[in-house]
Amino acid sequence: MKKIDLGQTITILANIGVLAGIVFLAVELRQNSELMRIQINQARADAAMLNNEQSFNSDYIPTIRVKISEGQELTGEDWLRYVGWFRSSNRNQDNVLSQYRAGMLSDNIPRSIGDFVEAVVGSSTYARRAWDDTKTGYSDEYVAFVERFLVETTDNELVEENVVN
């Protein structure tokens, strides 16, 4: 039987220590990633609540959205306020999509963004015009997502319209 000298023993123990350290580091990274996901979700929720609160407590945005839903004309000032609100709402969704693509958010995000696009971007001619006016300010990925969703929604509406008629 071959004797293992002190140097070899120390080397083996050091290698075991390094492996244990790597495993520990991997566990820590995974925990930090999960904590980051939780923090991002909380920040997202806070941003959404703040946006909703500011919109619905605004002296302008609810009135403007009602005008749009009723097919009324917007004044120039209404239009500027609406585009500002529209831009900030879409910027938030753009950020959400990028967080989703980075693996930080759950699988229901595309559906959630699709619901937003349907309710806000595809909701009126004003919304479509605001989209066309502001879409260069978002990521290419978000623009492609919205454009694809709008086309699919329009195609589905045409199919449903033809089935009904």
Do 15 and 87 lie in a common domain? no
Classify residue 139: in a domain, yes or no: yes
Classify residue 116: in a domain, yes or no: yes
Do 37 and 84 lie in a common domain? no
- Cβ neighbours for 143, distance < 8 A, ≥ 6 positions apart: 135
Classify residue 88: in a domain, yes or no: yes
Classify residue 71: in a domain, yes or no: yes
Do 76 and 132 lie in a common domain? yes
Number of structural domains (the chain) is: 2
The predicted pLDDT at position 1 comes to: 47
State the DSSP string of 32-85: HHHHHHHHHHHHHHHHHHHHHHHHHTSSSHHHHHHHHHTTPPPPHHHHHHHHHH
Do 36 and 73 lie in a common domain? no
Do 81 and 17 lie in a common domain? no
The parent domain of residue 38 ranges over 1-45
The predicted pLDDT at position 162 comes to: 36
Do 31 and 3 lie in a common domain? yes
The predicted pLDDT at position 158 comes to: 38
The predicted pLDDT at position 29 comes to: 80
Do 5 and 65 lie in a common domain? no
Do 104 and 36 lie in a common domain? no
Question: How many Å apart are CA 91 and CA 97, to the nearest integer?
Answer: 10
Classify residue 156: in a domain, yes or no: yes
Low-confidence ranges of the chain (pLDDT < 70): 1-4, 38, 41, 44-45, 48-49, 51-52, 55-56, 154-165
Q: For the full predicted model, state whether its pTM sits above 0.85.
A: no
